[in-house]
Amino acid sequence: MAAQKPDLRQALKPLSSNPTPVAQVENPAPPPRPRSRHYRPSREGMENLTGYFPPAVKNQMLELSVERRRATGHKVTIQDLIAEAVNDLFAKYGKPEIAPISRKQ
């Protein structure tokens, strides 16, 4: 036969019979969240926008990134290429081209 579980209502009864006055309870500020090792200040205020595509799409984006890097002489990231594509899509539909392209040299 299984052991009987303790009655939690009975265990909590002493706590509820003598409540602490609200005025005496202090609400300290929560401790600062430790920053993850993945935290990037440059991503502050930004949102992630992703999609799933066949591997050939990713490979072609990588090739295009390398080609543009060679042609321009500075780093062109996949994010830069996606921002350019998103801005082209916005322009096509008459929306402001607001995706930032941050090409770091």
Asked if the structure places residue 99 within a domain, the reply is: yes
Q: Where are the alpha helices (DSSP H) in the chain?
A: 8-17, 55-72, 78-92
Tens-digit pLDDT profile for residues 18-71: 556 555 656 677 666 667 888 888 888 889 999 999 999 999 999 999 999 999
Structural domain that includes position 97: 57-105
Q: Is residue 48 part of a domain?
A: no
Q: Report the predicted TM-score, pTM, of the whole model to 2 decimal places.
A: 0.60
Does 37 map to a domain?
no
Q: Does 14 reside within a domain?
A: no
The verdict on residue 25 lying in a domain is no
Q: Please state the domain count of the chain.
A: 1
- What's the pLDDT tens digit per position in 58-71? 999 999 999 999 99
> Residue 76, class by beta-carbon neighbours within 10 Å (0-12 exposed, 13-18 middle, 19+ buried)?
buried
Res. 105 pLDDT band, cuts 50 70 90: very low
The answer to whether residue 51 is domain-embedded is no
CA–CA gap between residue 77 and residue 85 (Å, rounded): 13
